[in-house]
Amino acid sequence: MHIILKKVFYKFVLLTIFYPLNSLCQEKKLVEIIEAGKFTKDEENFPKANILSKGNNLRVKLFHDGATIISDKTFFYSKENKFNANGSVWLKQGDSLELKSEYLNYDGDKGKAKAWGKVILKQPDMILKTDTLYLDRILNIAYYDSNGVVEDEENILKSKKGRYFINKKKYSFKTGVKINNPKYDISSENLDYDLISKNALFFGPTIITGNDYDIHCGKGNFDLKSSIGNFQKNPKIFYNDKIIEGDSIFYNESINYASATKRVVITDTINNSIIKGEYGEIYKEKDSAIITKKALAINIIENDSLYIHADTLIGTGPSDSRILRGYYGVKILKSDIRGISDSIYFDESKGKIELHKKPLSKKQIQVLSLKSKLKLNPVVWFNDSQMSGNEINLLTDIKTKKLDSLLIFGNSFVIEQDSINKNNFNQIEGMYLNGDFLNGGLNNLQVLKNIKVIYYLYNDGGELVGIDKTICSELKIKLESNEIKNITFYTSPEGKVHPEDKLDPNLKLLEGFIWRKSERPESLDDLFK
């Protein structure tokens, strides 16, 4: 018996230490009546209620746990520590929180209240208006589920449901969330807002509409004061007839700047063009964009896609005068054109593409061989024809969007692999070249100054007649299906047809000959190799 009692006592001690009873550690906070004009009872209609009413210039005033509640009439249930107040109800908690409503039900034990009828919750920097508001004074949370409006210094926030964390001064809005600001509007289905930092967090489909831009996302944050934000889940920015996409987008409205990472896409809806990459920076004020890491531009020419790849692509200017520049490892791909260069200049409004060589240092100019220098020149391919030079220009008809002409400046070199014997190459070397297109294919070529030609002649039976080696100052070439069909020499040509077996194999190639087919891109994947 003694042992049992000892165990029971020990258990009681542990319980009182680790699990203290409310009666031992907490004093129940009762609702206090401070003043009232009238005191009545109506047991038939309001059993157990003390009815407090205004009168004698006094309104009903109650106090509970640091809060004062004033009303015209209150039904007070002292044993339950509850009351129902109505008539211009005013609850004041400390110096920073005020609640006004037509009606208020209050549970003193739970510290919970329900207010309805023209509800206004005020703090020095915020006003909340709703029809019905629930207040938990223990957790310091207020919430509504029947439409509410929150106003601070610059913003008006509306939602069907809202939860306010009083101590943290943070809101959680749900369903039909709207923010109105002088500079923009925000629509969302799930938004958290910090009254102190002015930062909004999105957790669902969201649209930010500015004066000249729209932002769409499924997740993100936006500083309502500085207009700086980060956006994820299919974010998009719409402005100036352009669409910016990426896995993640950063935006700063004050400096008109945006950056995007991973699967970046910039679409020009006017010019029907696209720039892609893994990282991009967009400067709205300058109407420019920089794309790096697998950068790729796509333009529509002749109802066909022209792909341009470079280490770095830069787009500048408005849609009606758009300029695209590409630097380092440029490759172009179209169904009938292939090309490579160190850099590219593309004036979309004029339909002009310039392919440039890599600039050489003084030392490189001195030490590099001719072939090493020529290998740095840009190259384009039309079917089996290879053309290179110091600079290559492709011109497109603005109205028809079809290729119109070709220009090559300095060290022009045309190579065509012989269709009968793949080991033989027709070659034309000169200073300058210009050509025109017909139905998407090269039609005529003109080569000027210091021209050298090696051309394989065949009879109608397909038998090799000989190898024509000629020099002249001008020649014209007629092509069909991008293949040489006829060559005409001008200005005192000097040439001779050599039987193949009588011509030294070393003389079958001009000095600047470089067959660069291995560098030719054949597919989209080749652009990134």
The DSSP-derived string for 137-177 is TTTTEEEESS-EEEE-SS-EEEESEEEEETTTTEEEEEEEE
Same domain for 302 and 394, yes or no, is no
- Secondary element (H or E) of residue 366: helix 362-367
- Secondary element (H or E) of residue 443: strand 441-458
Same domain for 313 and 386, yes or no, is no
Q: At CA 481, angle to CA 478 and CA 484, rounded to 5? A: 35
Same domain for 268 and 348, yes or no, is yes
Tell me, what's the pLDDT at 482?
67
Q: Which two tokens stand for residue 482?
A: 């991008």
Same domain for 394 and 498, yes or no, is yes
Residues 6+ apart with CB under 8 A from 340: 330, 331, 332, 378, 379, 516, 519, 520, 521
Same domain for 346 and 457, yes or no, is no
Does 304 fall in a domain? yes
Domain boundary among 321, 356, 391: 356
Tell me, what's the pLDDT at 24?
38
Same domain for 500 and 386, yes or no, is yes
Q: Residue 523 to residues 272, 275, 296, 328: CA-CA distances in angstroms?
A: 21, 18, 13, 19
Tell me, what's the pLDDT at 420?
84
Domain boundary among 316, 341, 356: 356
- For residue 505, the 8-state DSSP code is G
- For residue 319, the 8-state DSSP code is G
Same domain for 343 and 428, yes or no, is no
The alpha carbon torsion through 451, 454, 458, 463 (nearest 10 deg) reads 170
Into how many domains does the chain fold? 2
Same domain for 384 and 502, yes or no, is yes
Same domain for 394 and 502, yes or no, is yes
Range of the domain at 239: 235-356
Does 311 fall in a domain? yes
Tell me, what's the pLDDT at 303?
72
Same domain for 336 and 450, yes or no, is no
Does 487 fall in a domain? yes
Angstrom distance (rounded) from CA 338 to CA 336: 7
Same domain for 384 and 507, yes or no, is yes
Does 446 fall in a domain? yes
Tell me, what's the pLDDT at 99?
96
Angstrom distance (rounded) from CA 503 to CA 466: 9
Angstrom distance (rounded) from CA 401 to CA 418: 31
In CATH, what number is assigned to the domain containing residue 286? 2.60.450.10
Tell me, what's the pLDDT at 14?
29
Per-residue pLDDT of the chain (529 residues; tens, 9 = 90+): 333 323 332 233 323 333 343 433 446 789 999 999 999 999 999 999 999 999 989 999 999 999 999 999 999 999 999 999 999 999 999 888 999 999 999 999 999 999 999 999 999 989 999 999 999 999 999 999 989 999 998 899 999 999 999 999 999 999 999 999 999 999 999 999 999 999 999 999 999 999 889 999 999 999 999 999 999 999 999 987 889 999 999 999 989 899 999 999 999 888 778 999 999 999 888 888 999 999 999 987 667 788 999 999 999 888 778 899 999 999 999 988 899 999 999 998 888 999 999 888 888 888 988 888 999 999 999 888 899 999 999 998 877 777 889 999 999 999 988 888 888 999 999 999 999 988 777 889 999 999 999 998 888 888 888 999 999 999 998 888 767 788 888 888 898 889 888 888 888 899 889 999 999 999 999 999 8
Does 466 fall in a domain? yes
Tell me, what's the pLDDT at 62?
96
- Secondary element (H or E) of residue 12: helix 2-18
Does 119 fall in a domain? no
Does 87 fall in a domain? no
Does 362 fall in a domain? no
Tell me, what's the pLDDT at 19?
35
Same domain for 347 and 423, yes or no, is no
